[in-house]
């Protein structure tokens, strides 16, 4: 057992208060303060019990033991004061820590409120740059009618049906599938009232069997413009649009041509 042996906390007289203080202060903060209070209470109880026991046994024991008992009693009183002091100090520390924590919470709360208050202003002063909306690209070609297809390009009754038929009702609009110039707008045998539009680059479209023509030859038309109204004029058994596509003067199947040019059809 050397002088610096800490395995016995109260092995000496002198350092009891210091050691107790050190023991009570050991460790961090928070709940350990409560633990130290219990340790302190336990230590005082242990010292008191030991002193009482020494006092009880001291009367019938040798002189040396009695002296020790007096010294122990002195030490107990001194230690109790010091423990009180330390507990007061710890209480003060706890109070300071609690105040610091409360201040930190208040500051955090204030900061949160401030940031909330700032948010709308920030949004106003620095609005998110909205992405430029992609302009809807104008389709190069559209369908001449929104009605369903009733007859396809091909041989029919021993001769070529050179167009695509749309099952319109009489009076339904017929649209130019693209910008161009009206090259024909009149009656033609077999076709009845017929409109032909020249789109340039050797491309022509024809719209037949109209009940009424709305454009004149030489007129420039825009894509989607009404050329005529559906009818059953010419060689026709009922109201419909007969639509033809001519490439460099040759009649082509309008359905694959329209599909190849991005026009969705039923």
State the minimum distance, in angstroms, from the CB of residue 236 to Zn ion: 8
Applying CB under 5 A, the span of 65-73, 76-84, 173-181, 240-248 interacting with Zn ion comes to: 240-248
| Distance between CA atoms of residues 72 and 52, nearest Å | 10
If the CB atoms of residues 199 and 242 are measured against Zn ion, the closer one turns out to be 242
Residues forming beta bridges with residue 58, ordered by sequence position: none
| 225 lines the binding site for Zn ion (CB under 5 A) | no
| 231 lines the binding site for Zn ion (CB under 5 A) | no
Q: Which of 165, 172, 225, 244 binds Zn ion (CB under 5 A)?
A: 165
State the minimum distance, in angstroms, from the CB of residue 136 to Zn ion: 32
Binding mask 137-156 for Zn ion (x = CB under 5 A): --------------------
State the minimum distance, in angstroms, from the CB of residue 218 to Zn ion: 26
If the CB atoms of residues 38 and 157 are measured against Zn ion, the closer one turns out to be 157
| Distance between CA atoms of residues 177 and 264, nearest Å | 12
Q: Which of 144, 163, 239, 254 binds Zn ion (CB under 5 A)?
A: 163
Query: By the 8 A CB rule, do 242 and 160 touch?
Result: no
DSSP state of 67: H
| Distance between CA atoms of residues 231 and 21, nearest Å | 111
Q: Which residue has the closest beta carbon to Zn ion?
A: 242
CA geometry: angle 229, 231, 253, nearest 5 deg: 85
How many residues touch Zn ion under the rule CB under 5 A: the total is 3
The pairing of strands 250-252 and 220-221 is unpaired
SS3 of residue 205 by DSSP: strand
Dihedral sign for Cα 37, 41, 44, 47, please. negative
| 209 lines the binding site for Zn ion (CB under 5 A) | no
Name the site residues for Zn ion (rule: CB under 5 A): 163, 165, 242
């Amino acid at each position: 057992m050397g002088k610096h042996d800490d395995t016995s906390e109260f092995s000496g007289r002198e350092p009891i208060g210091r050691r107790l203080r050190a023991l009570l202060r050991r460790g961090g903060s928070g709940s350990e303060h409560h633990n130290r209070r219990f340790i302190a209470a336990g230590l005082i109880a242990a010292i008191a019990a030991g002193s009482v026991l020494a006092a009880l046994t001291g009367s019938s024991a040798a002189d040396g033991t009695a002296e020790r008992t007096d010294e122990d009693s002195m030490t107990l009183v001194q230690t109790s004061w010091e423990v009180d002091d330390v507990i007061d100090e710890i209480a003060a520390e706890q109070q300071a820590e609690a105040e610091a924590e409360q201040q930190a919470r208040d500051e955090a709360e204030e900061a949160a409120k401030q940031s909330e208050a700032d948010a709308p202003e920030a949004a106003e002063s620095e609005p998110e740059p909205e992405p430029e909306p992609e302009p809807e690209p104008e389709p190069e070609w559209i369908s001449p009618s929104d009605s369903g297809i009733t007859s396809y390009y091909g041989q029919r009754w021993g001769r070529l049906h050179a167009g695509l038929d749309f099952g319109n009702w009489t009076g339904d609009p017929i649209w130019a599938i693209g910008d161009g110039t009206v090259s024909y707008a009149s009656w033609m045998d077999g076709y009845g009232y017929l409109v032909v539009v020249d789109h340039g680059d050797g491309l022509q479209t024809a719209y037949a069997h109209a009940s009424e023509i709305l454009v004149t030859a030489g007129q420039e038309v825009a894509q989607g413009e009404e050329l005529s109204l559906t009818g059953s004029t010419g060689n026709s058994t009922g109201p419909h649009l007969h639509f033809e596509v001519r490439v460099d003067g040759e009649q082509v199947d309008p359905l694959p041509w329209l599909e190849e040019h991005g026009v969705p059809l039923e």
